[in-house]
A and B are shown apart, each in its own frame.
Chain A
């Protein structure tokens, strides 16, 4: 027991070396032009700083997980990549071109299924393909290929409201994969699935990624999910939203969430997040909380959230 405690203490204190042995490495800069370049991005909602000077470079073919507690701005960052929000500071560029709005080279998969309720499962997949200029035939072929892939054979003609939440989310995944974008942006897409479907979706996503090597940015608050999927995990912290660690995950694929190594790594990351949170709480206790414009009315009592709306990071 003492040994374990000492180990944890050491891991928390000098986490890096120990963790390196286990499969996580600090991110090493890569040569060449990144596919996605997030440069000094900051964003605030009203008085709340959602992102503060975030720098992330993502290369083509990387599977990057943005990991962090709620309110750390991971979803905001993802929406900025998708072009659904314009960050208030800094620059987001893809292939050297500044992101100014949604574009066909990237696709956002939402937390909610976001299906068109009046279209059947098949039509939901076919319609965007037709809008992207595929012929009727090609679109139908792709729909037929991707519906079984997400285990929805026989539900072609079902309407979204006739399906369970998990099934709807799988339809969304099939729709996104069928569109075949260069960059796939995913906003906690499996958060609402049951454990079993979820791990099936993890397997599927890994398979597809290993095959096509798409650039994937995957937002999650689940440490294990991040470690199973990502070959790079960007750990973010809240207040203000910032990058805490940028780590390469070097574990053999396909990964099993119960692998001891992976479990150990997730424990380390969780400890790291807790430590940051505790440090932030301590700071907060020492100096009166301040919001961006110096208004110190909020924060009577330490436990009061500092005027932090619960939906920070949620779409505008």
Chain B
């Protein structure tokens, strides 16, 4: 209730600023203009197509980085050799903003879909790997001992004990990896025009249509928040509840 009132207040201030401010209205459109631009883009299918395109890329790139990052994280946590070999590289590359991979990606893959996927993977892989490594190395050692004495080894140990034991922590890494992937994708689409929400944003600039730019930004925020707050939160809560990490009262 209070939240809705504050939101309405904020929107009203925005609208007033846009109408009464000293700046030209076409450069600083109010919420009404942004909303109508969003509706227009939705109606002619541009928004839907861009969202689908972006989400499709994200799904491919993110799945790839999860498929590589989780095993990589498990390997670094479990093997001292891999740890000493890979860890410095991983930590060092974390300092590199993912978009810096774009020039190299274009050299290697050309102006293709693969180049964008490469940037997305490089952006999120390390976060997933580091999150997984942390989670795996903080699994309760008593569970590992129990698995040892019960004779659980091999794939059953990895899939049945180690990964479920680490899952709450792995999910945190996945969430972080997701948000990195989303950022990398948007940066990539902005710089390297090939459809998607980033390109729609860029098109708005070229047409001097600030309402479209703001509308797309709102869409990007909405998608990001939905996945982060809804998908991951629900997943995390479920896992934490099952694992007994939250009190029944909180659940």
Interface residue ranges, A against B (CB under 8 Å)? 82, 84, 101-104, 106-108, 110, 112, 114-118, 127-128, 130-132, 159-162, 175, 179, 315
Assembly CA distance A261 to B146 (angstroms): 38
Chain A residues near B156: list those with CB within 8 A: 130-131
Chain B residues near A130: list those with CB within 8 A: 156
Q: Does the CB pair A159–B142 fall under 8 Å?
A: no
Q: Does B152 contact A (CB under 8 A)?
A: yes
Interface residues as binary, B150-186 with A (CB distance below 8 Å gives 1, 0 otherwise)? 1111001000110011010000000000000000000
Assembly CA distance A112 to B143 (angstroms): 10
Q: Does B3 contact A (CB under 8 A)?
A: no
Chain A residues near B244: list those with CB within 8 A: 117, 159-162
Assembly CA distance A130 to B161 (angstroms): 13
Assembly CA distance A127 to B164 (angstroms): 13
Chain B residues near A179: list those with CB within 8 A: 150-151
Chain B residues near A114: list those with CB within 8 A: 142-143, 145-146
Chain B residues near A107: list those with CB within 8 A: 149-150
Assembly CA distance A130 to B152 (angstroms): 9
Q: Does B243 contact A (CB under 8 A)?
A: yes
Q: Does the CB pair A118–B167 fall under 8 Å?
A: yes
The smallest beta-carbon distance between A46 and chain B, in angstroms, is 19
Partner of B242 from A101, A110, A127, A159 at Cβ < 8 Å? A159
Q: Contacts A131-B153, A179-B150 known; list 10 others, CB within 8 Å.
A: A114-B146, A117-B243, A118-B167, A118-B242, A118-B243, A130-B156, A131-B151, A131-B156, A132-B150, A175-B150
Q: Does the CB pair B146–A110 fall under 8 Å?
A: yes
The smallest beta-carbon distance between B171 and chain A, in angstroms, is 13
Q: Does the CB pair B145–A116 fall under 8 Å?
A: no
Q: Does the CB pair A132–B164 fall under 8 Å?
A: no
Chain A residues near B149: list those with CB within 8 A: 82, 84, 102, 106-108
- Residues A116 and B161 in contact in the complex (CB < 8 Å), given A82-B149, A102-B148, A128-B152: yes
The smallest beta-carbon distance between A121 and chain B, in angstroms, is 13
The smallest beta-carbon distance between A172 and chain B, in angstroms, is 8
The smallest beta-carbon distance between A200 and chain B, in angstroms, is 23
Chain B residues near A104: list those with CB within 8 A: 151
Chain B residues near A131: list those with CB within 8 A: 150-153, 156, 160
Q: Which 8 A-B pairs have the closest CB atoms?
A: A161-B244, A128-B150, A114-B146, A131-B152, A108-B149, A102-B148, A104-B151, A131-B156
- Residues A118 and B164 in contact in the complex (CB < 8 Å), given A127-B152, A131-B151, A159-B242: yes
Q: Does the CB pair B151–A110 fall under 8 Å?
A: no
The smallest beta-carbon distance between A106 and chain B, in angstroms, is 8
Q: Does the CB pair A116–B151 fall under 8 Å?
A: no
Q: Closest chain A residue to B150 by CB distance?
A: A128
Q: Closest chain A residue to B161 by CB distance?
A: A116
